[in-house]
Structure 1
Amino acid sequence: MGSSLAGSSRPLFFCSPFNYYTKSSSFSSSAIHVTSSAVPMPSQHPSFEILGGASHRFLPSLPYLSRPYNPFPFIASNRHFETIFASFFRSLPDVTLRRHCLRTQDGGTVALDWVSGDDKLLPHDSPLLILLPGLTGGSGDSYVRHMLVRARKNGWRVVVFNSRGCGHSPVTTPQFYSASFLGDMREVVSHVTARYPNANVYAVGWSLGANILVRYLGQESDNCPLSGAVSLCNPFNLVVADEDFRKGFNIVYDKALSKSLCKIFKKHASLFEDMGGEYNIPLAANAKSVRDFDDGLTRVSFGFKSVDDYYFNSSSSNSIKNVQTPLLCIQAANDPIAPNRGIPREDIKENPNCLLVVTPKGGHLGWIAGDEAPLGAPWTDPLVMDFIQHLEKTVKSSKTSSDSEKEEALHHVEL
């Protein structure tokens, strides 16, 4: 359910209220070949499980999937080691961001980090990409930065959506964000589409950010203003994810994320001093698990009778069948935080807008494989880029054809 190990002590970035500066390095290496028992489809290598109602629609445009998934030797041999290695040792690209704090209708605040200077450098109709990090994550996370840099190099305008309290975003009301709350997502999409009315807008979400994104797509359905989206490491079924999160080595992640949540909470504890009713502020402030934090604060803030009620009703697995926007879902079969058994395969199969790619390995937010392994970008980044680039070409082509038809019709009317 979380981001990379947000509770780690690794210094991610130096920040001022408006700009971030980071340095990075990377190198590539060869890797071993891994296969699975997945049934091959056109343009698909057998090392992947690929399914979805949109398989034949999108697979021909994703040549990256015709190559085998080659996890990096040793590092990717254990899902926990890969997850932790990616969190602590993946390079952090150097990029300068300019922050805009967006005040929401309920008085809350989210932080939008744009690439500095892009307002002047990019045309106003450049495709726009919204990035949604995982739980407690933000624009300082390495997986976010790598995707941002790749998209920017391809001429995309990029903005990172830092949820309330995340990425040093200020908290201005006694309410954080949650897996259930879509109000901030709607306001962010509305804001960026109004700011760049001639641009096609897309979104990429990781972990809890992916869960929020897919729920948003499902609820907006035919009215969704996004032209496409990508979900990565999505826990999908939060009840199942919670069950696994409290077992074995996963307890380490649970403690790390709950520590990060408590740290954010304590910075803004004064806002919650007078909260009564079912709130359990001491439990939230000293939570030993994400479940404790959600029980003491989150589920009460958003009107759920219990934590299980919150998890069940906030699971994006319930939303897949209503998604009308082109959606690519990328999961790792051995993800310790987003369980393979929680993926809503049947609904994805039946939805003509969805494509699922499951890699044999990858851990959680790891995917240490491909040409840039082990310190460079995740294996997923080129696939994500190919997908949204294909969508952008399709959308532009469709608009051009539509405009031509309108001009021809107008010409006949004038005659």
Structure 2
Amino acid sequence: MVVVQVSSTVVFHEYAPEMTSKTSGHLQTAYAVVGDFSKIDKVEYDRTFLRTLDGGTIGLDVTPPANERILRDDTPILIVLHGLTGGSHESYVRAVLAPACTPVENGGLGYRGIVVNSRGCAGVPVTSPQLYSAGHTDDIRVAVLYIAKRYPEARLLGIGFSLGANILTRYLAEEGKHSRLAAGCAVACPWDLTKNAEQLENKWFHRNIYSKAMARNLQRLTARHASSLATFVENPLPQILNKVLQSKSITLSQFDGAITRIAGGSSPPFPFETAWDYYAWGSSHEVLANIRVPFLALNSEDDPVVQVLPYEAGGSPWVAFAITERGGHLGWFEQSREGQIRRWVRKPVLEWLRAAGEDLAVGDEDVRPIIDVDGFLRESGREGIGCQMIEGSEHIIGVEGEGGLLAGL
């Protein structure tokens, strides 16, 4: 059964996949981590690197690759934001991108997909002491700016997963009627970072299984870039990072209290006094009312990572909030008649994307003009941020991910 609360005029069709009453959020989440998805939803990408004004690097993975097929200039584009330490290789990303970018004649939507890989994630180098966080939106802002400039005739749609869903929500709320994205979809968004962090920290099982697993992922990810971070000798991050990497047992809030509150975004507002100050600032549940494009939010009631949900959806007429009884965190698995285990949640997501990409009536965009200043793309009136494409491109095989990291977390 799917419980749907709709506070907008968007119609969301209900799905009721066959799931046993014994299915739990823990099992769904565990399968998202340990399941073998290497033989399904294969996606390949062309990677482009963007350099930001602060010297950071973002990786854009575009599918289908240019050598596979050429799409029309007005083909809708699905811009994807991954989870905490993920990237374009994640199975939950490919579960949506594979059918969304399959040609129409083969049963797909025929869209273009672009995954925005955060600094240091999925093989993207770290070239500045600034990293990323759930609340920092300037990297997605400049990525969307670049994509809009490169594909001026295409309709842009956004989808975010977990931490990426929080970033997308905040971006759309901050942009309001000026958004370059025509619609958005947030999957397994953590919403109230403070309350959900408290739930993770205050329950023994959740603290020792989920909180510490996510912290280990962050430890391993930053360890890969320790030598790059060590070159920023005037920044406190290298010394702090050494202490964090030596810790044998660290929780997510402890990692955020040591690293993210300092390096998770630009100054101001970073650094924050504590992780809890960062959580209060970076939450997205209170900004839903500021969104001004059609927006679908999907969460599962039995998600062990996100346990506090904004059921009222901010009272926004632009937001459709769907809550399923089961699905875990980034799970929503069912077994097909052929015996394959796949994410059934992609069915409503693809329906939403098709409606947003093809049926949605969109008026003239009220967006800021794009300008070029010394080779950097910027928005008029917002000249503190910008980006430029830099040399170096790669071909990425989507099933090849970051070894050693727990997928889906």
Range into which the TM-score falls when normalised by the shorter chain: 0.7 to 0.9
Instruction: Give runs of aligned pairs for residues 67-82 of structure 1, distance below 5 A.
Output: 67-71=15-19, 73=20, 77-82=23-28
Native 8 Å contact 1:279 1:296 kept in 2: no
Native 8 Å contact 1:90 1:375 kept in 2: no
Native 8 Å contact 1:278 1:300 kept in 2: no
- 1:325 aligns to what? 293
Native 8 Å contact 2:313 2:320 kept in 1: no
Residue identity opposite 1:185 in structure 2: I
- 1:201 aligns to what? 156
How does the TM-score come out when normalised to structure 1?
0.77
In 2 relative to 1, CA 397–372 (structure 1 residues): closer, same or farther, beyond 3 Å? farther
**Are residues 1:130 and 2:87 paired?**
no
- 2:309 aligns to what? 343
Q: Distance in 1 between matches of 2:172 and 2:258?
A: 29
- 2:205 aligns to what? 249
Q: Distance in 1 between matches of 2:167 and 2:341?
A: 27
Cα deviations by residue, 1:101-159 (Å, 9 ceiling, x for unpaired):
11112110011111212785210100000111100011111111111101102110001
In 2 relative to 1, CA 161–144 (structure 1 residues): closer, same or farther, beyond 3 Å? same
Q: Distance in 1 between matches of 2:313 and 2:213?
A: 33
- 1:297 aligns to what? 259
Instruction: Give runs of aligned pairs for residues 6-405 of structure 1, distance below 5 A.
Output: 47-54=1-8, 57-59=9-11, 62-63=12-13, 65=14, 67-71=15-19, 73=20, 77-92=23-38, 93-115=41-63, 116-117=65-66, 120-153=69-102, 154-246=109-201, 247-250=203-206, 251-273=208-230, 274=233, 275-276=235-236, 280-287=240-247, 288-301=250-263, 302-339=270-307, 342-348=308-314, 350-369=315-334, 371=336, 375-395=340-360
Residue identity opposite 2:241 in structure 1: I
Q: Distance in 2 between matches of 1:189 and 1:372?
A: 39
Residue identity opposite 1:390 in structure 2: A
Cα deviations by residue, 1:21-79 (Å, 9 ceiling, x for unpaired):
xxxxxxxxxxxxxxxxxxxxxxxxxx32221321xx222xx43x1x42432x48x6222
Deviation at 1:396, TM superposition (A): 5.7
SS, match of residue 170 in structure 1: coil
In 2 relative to 1, CA 258–357 (structure 1 residues): closer, same or farther, beyond 3 Å? same
Q: How many residues align?
A: 342
SS, match of residue 158 in structure 1: strand
In 2 relative to 1, CA 102–186 (structure 1 residues): closer, same or farther, beyond 3 Å? same
Residue identity opposite 1:363 in structure 2: G
Greater percentage in helix = 1
Gaps of 5+ in 1: 1-46, 400-415
- Aligned-residue CA RMSD in angstroms? 2.3
Among the aligned pairs, what percent are the same residue? Answer: 32
Residue identity opposite 1:282 in structure 2: N
Greater percentage in strand = 2
Residue identity opposite 2:271 in structure 1: G
Q: Distance in 1 between matches of 2:317 and 2:335?
A: 29
Deviation at 1:308, TM superposition (A): 0.5
In 2 relative to 1, CA 118–177 (structure 1 residues): closer, same or farther, beyond 3 Å? farther
Native 8 Å contact 2:333 2:343 kept in 1: yes
SS, match of residue 37 in structure 2: coil
Residue identity opposite 1:345 in structure 2: Y
Which of the pair has more CA radius of gyration? 1
Gaps of 5+ in 2: 103-108, 264-269, 365-409
In 2 relative to 1, CA 263–372 (structure 1 residues): closer, same or farther, beyond 3 Å? farther
Q: Distance in 2 between matches of 1:186 and 1:88?
A: 33
Native 8 Å contact 2:24 2:327 kept in 1: no
Deviation at 1:378, TM superposition (A): 1.2
Cα deviations by residue, 1:354-391 (Å, 9 ceiling, x for unpaired):
00110000010110137479744311111111112112
Native 8 Å contact 2:253 2:275 kept in 1: yes
- 2:386 aligns to what? none
Q: Distance in 2 between matches of 1:373 and 1:295?
A: 46
How does the TM-score come out when normalised to structure 2?
0.78
Q: Distance in 2 between matches of 1:331 and 1:364?
A: 8
